[in-house]
Structure 1
Amino acid sequence: MRDYKNTHAYFVGGGIASLAGACYLIRDCGFPGDHIHIFEELNVLGGSNDGTGNPETGYVIRGGRMLNDETYENTWELLLSIPSIDNPEKSVREEIIEFDSQHPTHSNARLVNNNGEVVDVSSIDFDNEDRIALAKLIVTPEEKLNMLKISDWFKPHFFETNFWYMWATTFAFQPWHSLAELRRYVIRFMHEFPRIHTLEGVTRTPYNQYDSLILPIKKFLENHNVDFKLKCVVTDLDFKDSEKITVTRIYYKEQGMEKTIELNESDVVFVTNGSMTEGYSLGSMTKPPVLNDKGASWKLWDKISKKKQGLGNPTVFDDNIQGSKWESFTVTCHNSKFFDLMEKFSRNKAGTGALVTFKDSNWFMSIVLAHQPHFRNQPDNVKVFWGYGLYPDNPGNYVKKKMSECTGEEILIELLHHLKFEKEMEDIIKSANCIPCMMPFITAQFMPRSIGDRPQVVPEGSTNLAFIGQFCEIPDDVVFTEEYSVRSARIAVYKLFGITRPVEPINQYQYDIRTLFKSFVTMFK
């Protein structure tokens, strides 16, 4: 154990990467909690792991996050160290596994066609060209895929298969997204290939991820006196004038006042570079959301990447909002009518069915009914579900407007038409509150890229700077997951502090004979 009397750790961003990094400092480095400072622009921690609202004004979850019991290696290891809020004798990990075993996922209505009928997804619909292209992709080295899009590799038929409809909506891929990232996903989640139609590999939390993950971690850190600087925006970093990468000064704004921190030689800085939910905008039942542009997180990365080599290329990710945006919506229902109809239609009790995707929807819309209550303060007579559309600039099949121009009520109307719930439409809408959410950078991490566009977790030559979150480089792992953020934080802490304890390795399912055989058979169904 080292003497940290004159050492402070500064985290830029209050998402799960920073929170996990603070936990690793305390747990594995013996670092004093009151020497850890977390800067967050919003007035709440959690980053993209959000969940807020009340039954009167409506609940909001910007995104739906699916955990995986077999691939979130470091996430689960960390959560074994975090006590449950409801039962401190249990860890958060144990609490989640216990809940998930009582409410296992097995979708009976993964895809729905334009006639409101559940699609038979026992076949993934590949032809020989699709099979050959996917097999060839798996064995092609990533360095040969620089800047290639998925649509550069696969023929049009691939994007009309049941596989694509299910894979794209499970992970939010678009045809113009990174081929290299799709390759990583296929390899990382190869064990999910044979059960993509049921999503049995999804592990659910008892509540939304803010209530189930962030709150227990926050409480753990509060008990160690970690300093949370909310509504504070880091605007710039100064570097030492040398070939090394050494941060010497932090610039930030707090309550409109510009401030600076002069770093000690032993201080360290962890930066969450970029944000998938930055610039989000909420609408209402009577108003659509607006489309915003770059905010503090992207602007900071833009600034510092120009000061030193090896800090990445943010423009690849933040300069194409048209390619990275989509729109979600959260619906608060003040009776159980919609849930009753959906449970009958899907043959899934709420919390067991995962995504229901409307494959012929012009918006490419999906919804999911979580186990209720989904929020800690949710009354028994209130139900909450979430959905999203990957093509928000297309006119609806029934509401002839772009999704991005629709109010919450119009999004509900479009959804209820797809489900053929027209007879109950008036009653459902009258008792519901649909809040749409536009997210301009939600899949920015999937934009086509080259090697080097994402900085290393600890860049070459860095003495006190690390990058964490979704826009740093971790070989073989996949972005848009909780695991990527947690793994990046663990790597960062261990490298900067010389911890020899190993990071949990990535499970290599592509080398498991049984997994390969099952996946091969699935390709011919």
Structure 2
Amino acid sequence: MPHAHHAHHDGHEVRNPEQVNAYLVGGGIASLAAAVHLIQDAKVPANQIHILESGPLPGGSMDGAGNADTGYILRGGRMLNFSYLCTYDLLSKVPSLSHPKKTVKQEIDEFNAVPGNKTNAHARLIAKGEKGPEIVDVSQMGLNTRKRADLLHITAETEKLLGRKRIDECFTKEFFDTKFWYMWDTMFAFQPWHSAVEFRRYLHRFIQEFPRINSLAGVDRTPYNQYDSIILPIETYLKAQGVEFHYDTKVNSLSFRPETAITVSEIHFASTKDGKTGLVHVEAHDLVFITLGSMTACSSLGTNTTPPKPLPTVEDALKAPDGAWELWSSLANPTVNPHSSSFGNPSNFYTRTRESNWLSFTVTLKNPEFFSALETATGNKAGTGALVTFKDSNWLMSIVVPHQPHFLNQPPNVQVFWGYGLFPNKIGNIVQKPMSECSGSEILQELLGHLNFPSSPTLENSITIPCMMPYITAQFLTREKGDRPDVIPKGSTNLALMGQFVELPRDTVFTVEYSVRCAQTAVHELMDTEEKPRDVYMGEHNVKVLVEALRMLLT
């Protein structure tokens, strides 16, 4: 039976899943999630689902790679949260790799239920004291009446009125020196010049975390890094079902049928290995899902002895081997796409690398000294401390020491942790150069200096790999309505857009949840499934949560 909500899709017929070929461009979590829901909710045969990925592996920005000899690499980590209703729904549909009778969700729940794995940071902020590093008392937020009023004001303002405002246009300078801001901006990677609209969304979306912002007790962890714990099980499941993965396949452009509706007719691709081009004919009843843009495009890895490459130019963004920005740009370009106005404004996001870059680093240790000294200094065992931020670091450096082993192939005598700096263009406090120009071992030297740890035996028994990410917070940049296209562009009959650069009312970008919600929305809308994405968890609708959060604010 056709549902009443058909009208806004130009009255398309209900699709027969048996006849649908689905083409998912990009192999990140959005496409992987879409494939799971196409199989389980929409009943599309798995061998009619094709994932086209420009790289050699799935996972997109959720990566984890390397080995003990050459060093491990994590570009970042995801903090999961009970409010990620779509993500947890997805993970409850996928079998665990280690226990096929369990789901990935059960595995994560069991891991977080072990008392020794609970996140409870005792050293969320470390400051430079007269006698060396001191743990900052974060039981109080340091917000006076003015700052609290400004916070409440931005929370109450409409997105329309905030428009393209930056966060620092809504607060006085002093706000950015409060413990609240240090904890908030490093937990979520916000900068003062980022979008006030997005900051407001986060305040609403994560208000339930206010009382625990100093301990991060609301954070759920995966047993291993997110590639091993989330991407690998989903990929394994999809392959077993028969989904076709086409790696090293870069999609360059789409062709549309010559009518008013947006209906994809062809997908043009090229092999990233030998440059051979090809095209896919898309029928009107087929589906095309595209992940727009990329926060990890043009990532550049340094080594223990060399820094990463400098920031790319705008031209470099469009020539990046993954093709993510190039494809979106072609869709939004009026000279090549008559429907360009429905595809947002990609140049708002990829032309501002000075506002959207930071640098992360992964440390592989072959000597337990650092971990034991850190445990003594912070009072946290590995995996329980969440984020430790060095508040007086010029680079605004934070580190995350996960539960070990963090990789499936990690030997027992090796430890791995990662960190990041929000101000990589500033000169270090100890190493006298910008973080972006430092080798891995220089970054570790700076960290050891902030902790007052001796450089031996850690420095000579470690490999630190820095990673410059030019667009890592591009999704936080100031934007106006229309810069981000809708998941189903107005007038689309068979095309959906996903990822961190599309518009989903009320939800917050830079989360796995955002990608998964896009995927679920796309499958539900275009396949008319009964399962629709759960409503965005809004902490403030729960009075108890609001009272707790306000109590925290008033400290």
Shorter-chain TM-score above 0.5? yes
Secondary structure in structure 2 of the residue aligned to 1:30: coil
Secondary structure at the residue paired with 1:317?
A: helix
- Is the CA contact (8 Å cut-off) linking 2:84 and 2:537 kept in structure 1? no
Distance 1:400 1:94 in 2: 47
2:478 paired residue number: 448
What is the CA–CA distance in structure 2 between the aligned matches of 1:6 and 1:77, rounded to whole Å? Answer: 27
1:500 Cα shift?
2.9
Structure 1 residue 501, shift from structure 2 partner = 2.3
Unpaired segments ≥5 residues, structure 1 = none
Alignment match, 1:164: 181
Aligned equivalents of 1:445, 1:98: Cα separation in 2: 32
> What is the rounded CA distance, in whole Å, between the counterparts of 1:31 and 1:511 in structure 2?
37
Alignment of 1:166-181 (within 5 A): 166-181=183-198
1:91 aligns with 2:83: no
Which region of structure 1 is more displaced relative to structure 2, 503-512 or 188-197?
Answer: 503-512
Provide the residue aligned with 1:328 in structure 2.
360
Residue-by-residue CA offset, 1:100-134 (whole Å, 9 max, x unaligned)? 11111000000001231111111110011111111
The Cα of 1:5 is off from its aligned counterpart by 4.4
Q: Distance in 1 between matches of 2:531 and 2:487?
A: 17
**Alignment-derived partner of residue 502 in structure 1:** 532
Q: Deviations over 1:479-517 (max 9, x none)?
A: 000100001000001101111323111122112111111
In the superposition, the TM-score normalised over structure 1's length comes to 0.98
Q: Are 1:279 and 2:298 counterparts?
A: yes
Q: CA deviation at 1:98?
A: 0.4
Which of 285, 290, 296 matches 1:266? 285
Query: 2:437 aligned with 1:437, yes or no?
Result: no
Q: Corresponding residue for 1:486?
A: 516
* Native 8 Å contact 2:367 2:457 kept in 1: no
Letter in 2 for 1:34: N
Instruction: Note the C-alpha offset of 1:211.
Output: 0.2
2:3 matched residue in structure 1: none
Q: Which amino acid aligns with 1:96?
A: I
Cα displacement string for residues 271-330 of structure 1 (whole angstroms, at most 9, x for unaligned residues) = 100011111010011100013341210111011112222111111111100000000000
Percent pairwise identity: 49
Matches within 5 A, 1:52-451: 52-69=65-82, 71-102=83-114, 103-115=117-129, 116-254=133-271, 255=273, 256-290=275-309, 291-292=311-312, 293-294=316-317, 295=320, 296-306=323-333, 307=337, 308=339, 309-422=341-454, 425-451=455-481
Task: Compute the displacement of 1:246 (Å).
Answer: 1.1
Residue by residue, what CA displacement relative to the aligned partner does 1:63-85 show, whole Å, maximum 9, x if unpaired? 1111002x100110111111100
Q: 1:305-364 CA deviation, whole Å, 9 max, x = no partner?
A: 122221111111111000000000000001211111111111000000100000110000
How far did residue 242 of structure 1 move?
Answer: 2.0
Distance between the aligned counterparts of 1:85 and 1:94, measured in 2?
12
Distance 1:233 1:304 in 2: 15
Partner SS state of residue 408, structure 2:
coil
- Structure 1 distance, partners of 2:461, 2:113, is 32
Hey, what's the Cα distance between the residues in 1 that align with 2:150 and 2:59? 39
Q: Tell me, which stretches of 5 or more residues in structure 2 are unaligned?
A: 1-13
Give the partner amino acid of 1:365: M
Task: Letter of the 1:299 partner, please give it.
Answer: E
Q: Work out the CA distance in 1 between the residues paired with 2:143 and 2:19.
A: 60
SS of the residue 1:287 aligns to = coil
One-letter identity of the residue aligned with 2:383: G
| 1:466 partnered with 2:496 | yes
Rounded to whole Å, the distance in 2 between the matches of 1:265 and 1:520 is 52
**Corresponding residue for residue 64 of structure 2:** 51
In angstroms, what is the RMSD of aligned CA positions? 1.0
Contact 1:6-1:264 within 8 A present in 2 as well = no
Moved over 4 A (4+): none
Question: What is the CA–CA distance in structure 1 between the aligned matches of 2:136 and 2:284, rounded to whole Å?
Answer: 61
2:25 aligned partner? 12
Normalising by structure 2, we get a TM-score of 0.93
Aligned counterparts of 1:503 and 1:446: Cα–Cα separation in 2: 24
Query: 2:521·2:532 contact (CA, 8 Å) conserved in 1?
Result: no
Name the SS for the 1:260 alignment partner: strand
Q: In structure 2, how many angstroms separate the alpha carbons of the residues matched to 1:64 and 1:401?
A: 26
Partners of 1:499 and 1:63 lie apart in 2 by 34
Distance 1:414 1:81 in 2: 44
- How many positions carry a matched residue from both structures? 522
Give the Å deviation of 1:3.
3.6
